Structures are given as structure tokens and as C-alpha cells.
Amino acid sequence: MFANMIRYLFATFLFGGPSMCLRLTNMTAPSIQDPREQMQLYCKFDMGGEDLYAVKWYKDDHEFFRYAPSGPNNYVQYPVSGVTVDTTRSHCTRDTCELMLIDLQRPYSSGAYRCEVSSEAPAFRLASQTFNITVAAIPKHPPLIDGLADTYTTGSMLLATCTSGLGDPKPRITWFVNNKMAPINQVKDLPSKPAQPDTTGNSNIMLKQSISQLRIPLDKKYTGTQPSTSLEVRCVSSVDGINSNIAPHLSATRNIMIMDENQLVNNQKFHWPSCSIKVSLTGCLPVLAIFVYLFAC
Ligand SMILES: *[C@@H]1O[C@H](CO)[C@@H](O)[C@H](O)[C@H]1NC(C)=O
Ligand SMILES: *[C@@H]1O[C@H](CO)[C@@H](O)[C@H](O)[C@H]1NC(C)=O
């Protein structure tokens, strides 16, 4: 206790603060990285008064880059599949290290990236932090719903298609009807355009699209005893393995009406436009006059 206090006071006196130990103060990395762009990794550390020996970068425990200011070459790269550091745009100092990774590939570039800082002899202290990074091209546009009418009558067939944006891996389409996932017997994958290489220059990326058809026989259970009802149709595009907290799913929503013609006819019998049986006939006369006029002409 007493010894600790002395040590603390001594450190405070010597280094002007309680940060007497090597520590990693800030690592930034994306949780999801679009392979059409470069990936930036950043690590900031406080040597706590010790000398920097090396900053080592690992992917899934394989070292791919080292900065050792006292070594013969400041920057050393080690071959790790899916990892290419652009050294002309990477920069490390005695308290920061920033890397630019290019030519990202799926799935090899995804993984756990670690920044590890070590101090010189005799302390040989280590500090590190790890980020899990998923490399995937998420579509840049929400999906598109086609072929859906605004109104349907009971007994007819609802047929619609949904087309996702381009992505790698191939986006997955899910249909929801009134917030419930559509059953698989109402959903069918349709052939889509062949995969196409990315046009921004990363030939490792093959962009794919999904097209899905929704087919619902609109029987009377939708309207029940009502003359009409509305239905919310939603198409969601997502990427397997990517949580919606990391990349919100993209969606398109449409509201349609379903009319039951029998119920409509029944209702019209009792609800003649703008008047009802209860209202005296005089209230209906203007309406009747218009009808007579229309049919007479
Ligand atoms: C960490 O570093 C990044 C990049 O320089 C900066 O934007 C961010 O604000 C820093 N975060 C903290 C907690 O210092
Ligand atoms: C990274 O993912 C692995 C496996 O899913 C998990 O065990 C680990 O805790 C994650 N690490 C971080 C820093 O999120």
C-alpha cells in the first residue's frame, strides 16, 4: 500500500500524470468494409515514457505489417491472404499508426484485425486491441418492387417481383406481408443478371443481384366480412452474416387495397351514394336527377 503510493507519487512526479504504463488509447476500424473502397486502420497509443519497439498488425493472429522505428526497414510487410497494405499511403509515428489496405477480397479480407504495440527492453510491455471486420459490398440502393397494382379484388392473384441492388455476397430478399414473413410457397427466386465485376477497379469483386417473386392468391380470408382491406407488402434485402445493427437492412414498402366485390355490391344496396334508406327521398333527388340526366344523354 505504502510502496504503491510512493511509486504513484514518483510516477506522477516523473511523467506528469498517472499514465505511467504503455497503453493503446484509440483504435479505429470499420465493422463492415465495402471492398470497392480502401480500408483504413488506425491505432493511437501512449508509450507512458517507454520507447516504442514495434507496432505489429495481425489478421486472425497472422502478422501482416510491422513498424519498428529502430529496425533496418521501418515498414515490413508479411504475406497474408486478402491483406495488401498500400505503404505509400500508410504512416506510423511514435504514437500513432495508420494503414491503408487495398485490393480487398471476399472472404479473405474479413477477420479479426489486431494492433499490438510493444515497448523496448527491458520492460517489453504489450498493449493491443482487436476489431472484427466483415468485408462485404452492401447494395447502394434499396430493393425495387415491380408489378404490384394499387387495388385487387378477392379471388385474383397478387403477383409482384422485387429486385435487389448489386452486392457481394449476393443479397438475400425476404418478403413480408402485414409484417409477417411470407411463407416459402408464396415466394420464388427468379433468374437474375449474371454477376458483373465491380467497375471501380477492384477486380476481386463480383456484384450480384437477386430477384424474387411474390405470388399470393387473394381469397376471401383477407377481407372477411369487410368490403375492403389494406395489405402492407414489404421487400427487404439483407446480406448473410451481417447483422442489421451493423448495416441496416434495405427495404421497399407498398400498401395495396383488396376489395370484395360481393360485399361491395351488398353495401351499395344499402348505401346508395350520398343517401340512405333512412334519409327522406328528397335528399336523394339531386343525385337521382344527375343519374337520369346522364342516362338520358
Ligand atoms: C479515435 O481516433 C479517430 C481518428 O483519428 C477519431 O475520429 C476519434 O474521435 C478518436 N476517438 C477517441 C475516443 O479519441
Ligand atoms: C470477434 O468475433 C469473435 C467470433 O465471433 C468473438 O469471439 C470476439 O469476441 C469478437 N471480438 C470483438 C473484439 O468483437
Domain boundaries, the chain: 2-135, 144-267
- What's the Rg (C-alpha) of the chain? 33
Q: Which residues line ligand 1 (CB under 6 A)?
A: 26, 28, 42
Give the whole-angstrom CA distance, residue 8 versus residue 24. Answer: 20
Q: What is the distance in A from the centroid of ligand 2 to the CA of 107?
A: 17
Give the whole-angstrom CA distance, residue 196 versus residue 239. Answer: 18
Same fold, 2-135 and 144-267: yes
**Which residues of the chain register pLDDT less than 50?**
1-3, 5-19, 272-282, 284, 287-288, 291-292, 295, 297
pLDDT of residue 193: 86
pLDDT of residue 8: 46
Phi, psi of 84 (to 5 degrees): -130, 115
pLDDT of residue 99: 98
Residue 131 alpha carbon, nearest atom of ligand 2: 13
Ligand 2 pocket member 287 (CB < 6 A): no
CATH architecture of 144-267: Sandwich (2.60)
3.50.50.60, 2.60.40.10, 3.30.750.24, 3.30.420.40: CATH of 2-135: 2.60.40.10
What CA dihedral angle connects 64, 68, 69 and 72, to 10 degrees? -100
Our mutation pick for probing the ligand 1 site, out of 23, 27, 28, counting the most ligand atoms within 8 A of Cβ, is 28
